[in-house]
Amino acid sequence: MRACRRWLAYILACCSIQNARLLLASNRRATTGLGNAHDIVGRYFMEHLEIPSGELVLAKPQSTKTKMYEIDYGVTKARAELALSAQVQKEHGILNGTASLERGVLGERVKSTFQFLPPELLKATMAWEKGGKIGPSPFSASSPPEATAVQQTAPRIFHLMTRQEQAPNPNSRVTLSAEKDAMGMPRAKLDWQLTELDKRSIRTYYRVLGQEMGRTGLGRVQLREWLLSDDRTWPSFISGGWHHMGTTRMHADPKHGVVDANCRVHGIGNLYVAGAAVYPTAGAANPTLTLVALGLRLSDYLRTKLA
């Protein structure tokens, strides 16, 4: 009689922050945590920078078609955004980013993503969607009367909202806190750090956009004051998009990454990581489709390996 042991695979799919937390906290045998022989686990945490950055004033609002760039929150499924070509990005040495358009008036207070979408509004929206979207969306109900008035007129002024990738930064990281959760496990501590390249990229993007708007006669772009200061300081309303990425980045060399091309943790034969935690860079688009594709790819790989 021969005993056989079935090969098992373990997959961490707990989001970028919690994946790093679990690896770092698994330190009974590997004192620095699993897969962390080179102090990479938790590093390179990235978000999408989402922040009001300027205003666009159209020269001919009646004849400028903007419908594809506008959104009715809770109703519209998708919208277009303004982007620079890859060639222009390369010429200026900047990161990839886009700008979305939101109708408004000059001088009004514009909120970043975290300010516009507080937890209670997100919960109300999920309940509204689950209930069949009966009545106006919570977004519409929370809009001030002047916002509705602006929606009913031809758009001349748009607030420009940035969505930009973050430069990979080893100092932007997740570590373990001294505080413990109810299970006695150390909580995660996030130190989200940005670089001068992040801010310079946003400023350069809008300067190029403004030059192009002026050249074509479409309008003028005004930058927000926070963009005119030095490249090291950021406003208090800096925001992300709840797009957590990095912390267990992919790289062929274990000295520079946590997982290999198959999402396997370096040095461990049957431990894998799924999700946006393996991204070495963030790009400017929402990460969902890519992380789903990587998840399906990992599933196919393991199915073959386990067969």
Lookup: tokens for 38: 């080179």
Query: What pLDDT, in 10s, does the model give residues 137-175?
Result: 787 666 655 555 455 566 899 999 999 999 999 999 999
Q: Are 98 and 164 in contact (CB under 8 A)?
A: yes
pLDDT at 201 over 60: yes
Sheet holding 82-83: strands in order across?
Answer: 82-83, 97-103, 157-164, 49-58, 219-223
Question: What's the pLDDT score for residue 293?
Answer: 96
d(CA 200, CA 208): 12
pLDDT at 272 over 70: yes
Task: Count CB-CB contacts under 10 A for residue 306.
Answer: 10
Question: What's the pLDDT score for residue 57?
Answer: 95
pLDDT at 13 over 90: yes
Question: No. of H helices and E strands in the chain?
Answer: 8, 9
d(CA 137, CA 143): 10
Average pLDDT over residues 33-37: 96
Length of the chain: 307
Does the pTM surpass 0.85? The reply is yes
pLDDT at 73 over 60: yes
Task: Count CB-CB contacts under 10 A for residue 73.
Answer: 16
Q: How confident is the model at residue 99 (pLDDT cuts 50, 70, 90)?
A: very high
Integer-rounded Cα Rg, in Å, for the chain is: 23
Question: What's the pLDDT score for residue 76?
Answer: 79
